[in-house]
Structure 1
Amino acid sequence: MSGTSLDGVDIALVRTDGETIQELGPFKSYPFDQEFRNQIRRGFGKKDGLADLEAAVTHRHVQAIERFLQSEGITRADVDLIGFHGQTVFHEPENGLTIQLGDGAEMARAVGIDVVNDLRTNDVKAGGQGAPLVPIFHAALAKEMHKPLAVLNLGGVGNVTWIGEDGKLIAFDTGPANALVDDWVQKHTGLAFDEDGQIASAGEIDDAAVNSFMTHPYFHQPVPKSLDRDEFKKFAFELVDDLSLEDGAATLTAFTVAAVMRAQDFFPELAELWIVCGGGRLNKAMMSAFNAYLYGGILKAEDVGWNGDAIESQAFAYLAARAEKGLPITFPGTTGVAEPLSGGQVHRVR
């Protein structure tokens, strides 16, 4: 898969029946070059004219799969199914539309392995948010853990899964995660992101800007709810436009922290533990703030034996197995859909 942070293609091998996780195998990430990241960015917010970009996204994923199989010594016969998320460029569930670029039929033909893709559309057509999709995988990973707990994923957009003692799931997008800081740093330095949160750590937070940011209507909407990657960009950048590189990075990072703090107000019961996944867990400024301000213990995915970079790609392997069997992948508490629902399109090798 390729997420909203545009790092590249993540690939993970999972042995699963779509219910239990028998084995988490190797994981690899294949970075995009900066020009291709820019090419994808130019597609954000578009609903048509995307055929060339979709072909390029599919080709990059096919190349990554072939490299992965070769490097890990895995044959095509060893793999039953590929879960192909694709690249989200447009997400307006309130208008019944979400677009993830990726040609599943072409991937199946090129790689020679059955593919499941288009995992969000069915939920959106049924009135759901189409996101987040990973909560059922979080629940499987955390099956034996003490609850209530929260799994926080910090990619381009932040999303959280709250898991109750009885297995109840509540999930939603918290707000921006890395996208705003990444875009700010790229705009001012040409760098892809704020490594380890070093730039933000050197700046001062503009508290007035944070307070203004949290007046955005999204933070007062009931859950479940979901976001497009650039939902906040114009609003947020107007608030930090006059700040220095460092102060802007610090303030945009504080926007992410404030959004997560607000998220816990929607939990039926405060989480006793937060497990943080995704690239944001490596941002020291962000993690320091979570430790200072969130209720409950804060652990990185690795602290509980998970791979914090791999979870999203592992999840889409798990979801593909569920989708192929017709098992639900979205739920009333995770996307707002009326009843548990399966999804995805299966493309068989002919």
Structure 2
Amino acid sequence: MTTTCAIGLMSGTSMDGIDIAMLRTDGVAEIEIGPSLFVPYEAAFRRRIENSLETAKAIVKRDDRPGDLQGLEREITLRHARAVETFLASPAGAWGRPEVIGFHGQTVLHRPQVGVTVQLGDGALLARELGVPVVYDMRANDMAQGGQGAPLVPAYHAALARTLPEPFSGRYPVVFVNVGGISNITYVPEKGDPFAFDTGPGNTLIDQWVSREGGVPFDAGGAIASEGGIIVSVVERYLEVPFFEKAGPKSLDRNDFTLDLAKDLELSDGARTLAAVSAEAILKSAEHMPEKPKLWIICGGGRKNPHIVGDLRAGAEKAGAEVIVAEDAGLDGDATEAEAWAFLAVRSLNGLPLTFPTTTGCREAVSGGVLAQPSTVQA
């Protein structure tokens, strides 16, 4: 199978900006990782997206755009277009001309129990702006086939697991952990399909807490949490939520967990406690795995929080496993999700499955995505 040069675009549940990454891949086993870039949203635009989550609660069908969501969708799309142009105008553009773009968009509603997931992003407009074919809306077909619509990254994680360098190669089961706004894991066995599910809040509760109590958008480097302590009773209350007792596949919306259980804490204690909640929720996911993991690989913004990673290491060591961050294995933990969207776009072009019964609960392994060709898109 021939390789394709692809760009992946990801704006995750942290709503902090746009991750861009480039790959050459056949969508199966050949992966050559190229350059990447992060383009941050300014604070005012981030607040606008956050405010849209309330408006999005009125959505019934996934093409509904109540209130100002239609205008926001257009602006999000154009911001992605300008970000790609900046990326390609930089030295990164010399790495290759993209043949396809995988476009995630911005999730504003995820309700798998009623078969609705909404990512704001106009793939046709993006294709027209950039003159490159765009694969978008990659979650919808999975949900039409009875799946949760998330997580979608496991197909890429499984491919990466086969390419890990020494001393990490062959240490199955290996678990990739993406700590974004919501955390999710991909369990990769030595043989067979991966399985995956959301594990609980990642950064979202910490971000909400320090924004509300401290007036800052996130706890950079865990600095606020470093002044506090873990309130064990609060961690225990979070872990008593019925979600954690369910086996996968399962997925979450950003709003499924709130700060209600953390009220009345001091700022730094709250930040440290919620970091512990994130880590303990990830460790608890091992209860739903066929075998205990031997290796955990941490990706996403949460790997920069030393308290989350430290708690994960301490818990994993008790079970005889090792925790590393993506960079320890030669990967870019900031770009992994965007890389996945490039990988999935190529799989979509080739009609290969994006999701599996073991990752989302779909009835059978299914491909997905909508292809927008710039030559057929009308203004």
Interval of TM-score (by shorter of Structure 1 and Structure 2): over 0.9
Are the counterparts in 2 of residues 76 and 113 from structure 1 also a CA contact under 8 Å?
Answer: no
Equivalent residue, structure 1, for 2:13? 4
Q: In 2, Cα distance between the equivalents of 1:58 and 1:85?
A: 10
Equivalent residue, structure 1, for 2:224? 199
* Offset, 1:21: 2.9
Task: Give the one of 181, 202, 212 matched to 1:177.
Answer: 202
5+ residue gaps, structure 1: none
Residue deviations 1:216-264 (CA, integer Å, cap 9, x gap): 111111211000011101xxx1221101101111111111112112101
Q: Are residues 1:15 and 2:24 paired? A: yes
Post-superposition, which runs of at least 4 consecutive aligned residues in structure 1 deviate over 4 A?
none
Q: Are residues 1:109 and 2:128 paired? A: yes
Are the counterparts in 1 of residues 280 and 311 from structure 2 also a CA contact under 8 Å?
Answer: no
Cα distance change of structure 1 residues 223 and 22 upon mapping to structure 2, 3 Å threshold = closer
Q: In 2, Cα distance between the equivalents of 1:36 and 1:208?
A: 36
Equivalent residue, structure 2, for 1:30? 39
Number of residue-to-residue matches in the alignment: 347
Task: Give the one of 340, 346, 354 matched to 1:329.
Answer: 354
Question: What SS is found at the alignment partner of 1:334?
Answer: coil
- Structure 2 residue identity aligned to 1:128: G
* Offset, 1:75: 7.5
Q: In 2, Cα distance between the equivalents of 1:80 and 1:53?
A: 27
Task: Give the one of 280, 285, 296 matched to 1:263.
Answer: 285
Identity %: 46
Query: Structure 1 residues 303-312 or 71-80, which shifts more?
Result: 71-80
TM-score normalized by structure 1?
A: 0.97
Q: In 2, Cα distance between the equivalents of 1:162 and 1:20?
A: 18
* Offset, 1:77: 8.2
* Offset, 1:74: 2.4
Q: Are residues 1:245 and 2:267 paired? A: yes
Equivalent residue, structure 1, for 2:62? none
- Structure 1 residue identity aligned to 2:228: G
Task: Give the one of 329, 339, 343 matched to 2:368.
Answer: 343
Q: Are residues 1:82 and 2:107 paired? A: no
Question: What SS is found at the alignment partner of 2:359?
Answer: helix
Query: Structure 1 residues 30-39 or 19-28, which shifts more?
Result: 19-28
Paired residues for 1:121-270 under 5 Å:
121-144=140-163, 145-146=169-170, 147-233=172-258, 237-270=259-292
Are the counterparts in 2 of residues 76 and 112 from structure 1 also a CA contact under 8 Å?
Answer: no
Paired residues for 1:33-44 under 5 Å:
33-44=42-53
Equivalent residue, structure 2, for 1:68? 87
Q: Are residues 1:283 and 2:283 paired? A: no
Q: In 1, Cα distance between the equivalents of 2:239 and 2:327?
A: 31
Equivalent residue, structure 1, for 2:6? none
Are the counterparts in 1 of residues 280 and 312 from structure 2 also a CA contact under 8 Å?
Answer: no
Residue deviations 1:198-226 (CA, integer Å, cap 9, x gap): 21121121111111111111111121100
Are the counterparts in 1 of residues 112 and 143 from structure 2 also a CA contact under 8 Å?
Answer: yes
5+ residue gaps, structure 2: 1-9, 60-64, 164-168
Q: In 2, Cα distance between the equivalents of 1:77 and 1:285?
A: 38
Cα distance change of structure 1 residues 301 and 77 upon mapping to structure 2, 3 Å threshold = closer
CA RMSD of superposed structures (Å): 1.4
* Offset, 1:76: 12
Question: What SS is found at the alignment partner of 1:243?
Answer: coil
Are the counterparts in 1 of residues 299 and 334 from structure 2 also a CA contact under 8 Å?
Answer: yes
Equivalent residue, structure 1, for 2:7? none
Cα distance change of structure 1 residues 70 and 271 upon mapping to structure 2, 3 Å threshold = same
* Offset, 1:97: 0.2
